[in-house]
A and B are shown apart, each in its own frame.
Chain A
Amino acid sequence: MGQILQFAINGLMSGAIYALIAVGLVSVFKATRVVNFAHGYLIMFGAYFYFTFAVLVPQAAWAPEWLQSWRPEWMLAMRADLPMFSPMAAVLDWLANLPRIVLGLIGALVCNALLGLLIERVLMRPLMGQSVFAMIMLTVGLISILSGAAQLIWTSDAEFVPSLAPNTPIRFELFGSMIFLFGADLANMVIALLIFGGIVLMVRYTKSGIAIRATAEDQSTAYSMGISVPRVFSRAWVLASTTGAVAGAILATRNGISPSLGLFGFSVLAIVLMGGLDSYLGVFVAAMVVGVLEALTQWQFGGEWAGIVPYVAVLLVILVRPYGLFGSKEIERI
């Protein structure tokens, strides 16, 4: 019992991250009717930008000392008294990294936002209104470009990336069994859920969110209502690339930096289709379900089999509900 619960909770935490990745995909689709097959590689860029600003920049010769590690007098004093692995020590270590974590996040957000804008303006804009196939293949071409570019720019091997929150171990009891978590993972999950929720609320209640939904329904009508459709497109892509940056940073702290981060994009693509392309709720449910299923598969069959869970899941769902669990059916007029 305890093991299932442990793995289930791990699965929920993974699921939250998938949901964060998925929210970008769904938002771009809602606004532009384009599914970005290269989203995973946007996330990879976000991870690499975080790496650049949180590790490479502080290491540079011209960066101030405190960027690399901020240890004021009072912290060193407190630290000296504490045992090695106490929670407080972990918090203090995290505080020492805080400047570069913040710089990393800001850098990643800004750079990825610019990247998203660039892609939208140069590549997506000209292809407005063309066939589904053209749109898919364009983002597929983007995969190669981003993957190659990342390899060109960052050639160093994987290094340690500071995690976003203090990495203390947390133990608590649930239904009579001990659950063991890392504080960083819990914090990542909370961040992911907050961002996801924030975006859903934004799309539902703010003016720009309504603009996105209007454009999603009918571009020409939105235009005539005074909504600047190109601006909606840009905003959607920036939204996707910034959430992708945060997701990338989280994934980097959890899985390490490597070009294979891009492959997450495909499993989340499967998740998004499983949940229904235009439904935030559906995608959230699908992400959680897949996260838990992956964790349980890992528990029963070993880590390798967990890799194909999203793909098997999407095939099974499509068989029963061709438009995803919560997706809306497209009706063709004969």
Chain B
Amino acid sequence: MITGNLKSSYAADEQVLDNRWKRGFLLACLAGLAAIAAFGNNYVILIACQMGIMLIAVTGVNVVIGYTGLMSLGHAAFVAIGAYAVVIFHNTAGAWLPDSVATVVAIPVAVAVSALIGVIVGLPSLRVKGLYLAVATLSANFIVIFLIEQDVFAPWTGGMNGINTPAPNLLGWEMDTRREQFVLIAALAVLSLLAAQNLFRTRVGRAFIAIRDRDYSAEILGISLYRYKLMSFAISAAYCGLAGALFAYFYARILPEQFELDLSLMLVAAIIVGGMGRTMGPVFGVIVIVMVPEVITVLFGAIAGGGAELAQIRAPIQEIAFGALIVGFLLFEPFGITHITDRALRALNRWPFARG
């Protein structure tokens, strides 16, 4: 039970990590990440990298859907743009730069390009809301992937067959093992999460929440809906672009079909499961969304022992499990896992005075 958590200055009250339990938790998480980097086996590192990349993307999606309330079903397009921007950069302008510098330049370029396209895709949000915006962003996703697949652009994008990607090289440190890449991904994931939380301690983040809750009231307070809606799209697109850039560096090859509607829906599912509009929401959501298919694979391996027939139904079962997760959370726990942890922590906080 946490008692005596009183503050004597406004500055102290404004802190996020205002008691030693929260500080301890953060340190434990960081220590955990370091442990994974040092001691994890290849499988663990692989899963951790996937989670890290997805975490960055879902954090971005959380900004636009969870905090600003704008429904976007097309954010996979920005992940694609980030990934392909990195590849195209390395193949064109980056070819003139020394290897050690190319990566450091490519990542910001990919983020900037994604943000720019995010503004364009966000334009419909100025005219329409809700359902119409959802379909508009969905359409944008289809169009972007379609353009990437076209033969016209194949010299740059590799068309439908995909294209090979370079390994990251951070000022001389060539990261060609998964473990090294994990360090980069983990660092960027932690920084992105912190930056997103910072956003909501300032006027910018508050403006987003205001737009979500009651946009005419936000206007009356001087918040320009145009500006902030587009800003929300740009920020979330930038996050997804960063995730896409890391995706390109992590995998040896990228294909347009990896960025289709399925990925957009997976991002949104993660935020529903984790909890919308909360900092830890993306973390919980990503853990569940990445672990569930893995758990199913492991279960199938244990039961079937590698039989070919059962392997065939593994993919459909994963799909059904995914859909069931979304449906289940929406019906029974619409505020996501963060709500469950809230309740648990509150009960813990009141112990032994709480009953149940």
Contact = CB atoms under 8 A, between A and B. Distances in A.
A155 B312 contact: yes
Nearest to B137: A315
The 5 closest A-B pairs by CB, nearest first: A144-B323, A141-B326, A148-B319, A145-B323, A311-B139
Contact of A151 (B132, B134, B315, B326): B315
B297 interface: no
Contacts of B86: none
- Sort chain B's interface into a size bin: 35 or more
Contacts, number: 128
B224 to A, nearest CB: 18
B74 to A, nearest CB: 10
Contacts of A273: 131-132, 135
A127 B328 CA distance: 12
Contacts of A315: 124, 136, 139-140, 143
A123 B327 contact: yes
B311 interface: no
Interface of B: 65, 71, 73, 124, 127-128, 130-132, 134-136, 138-140, 142-143, 146, 150, 216, 261, 265, 268-269, 272, 312-313, 315-327, 330-331, 334
A149 to B, nearest CB: 6
Interface string A124-144: 001100101110111011111
Nearest to A155: B312
A264 B39 CA distance: 48
A310 B136 CA distance: 11
Interface string A304-325: 1001101110110011001110
Contact of A307 (B146, B269, B319, B326): B146
A42 B248 CA distance: 35
Given A143-B265, A314-B135, A318-B124, A138 B316 contact: no
A70 interface: no
B261 A152 contact: no
Given A127-B331, A134-B334, A136-B134, A270 B146 contact: no
Secondary structure at chain A's binding surface: helix, strand, loop or mixed?
helix
A43 interface: no
Given A35-B131, A138-B326, A270 B265 contact: no
A195 to B, nearest CB: 24
A137 B138 CA distance: 13
Contacts of B128: 318, 322-323
B236 to A, nearest CB: 16
A270 B139 contact: yes
Contacts of A132: 71, 130-131
Nearest to A277: B131
Given A123-B327, A137-B269, A318-B128, 20 more contacts: A134-B330, A140-B73, A141-B324, A141-B330, A143-B265, A144-B265, A144-B320, A145-B323, A147-B323, A148-B319, A148-B322, A148-B323, A152-B316, A266-B138, A304-B150, A312-B143, A315-B124, A318-B132, A322-B132, A323-B128
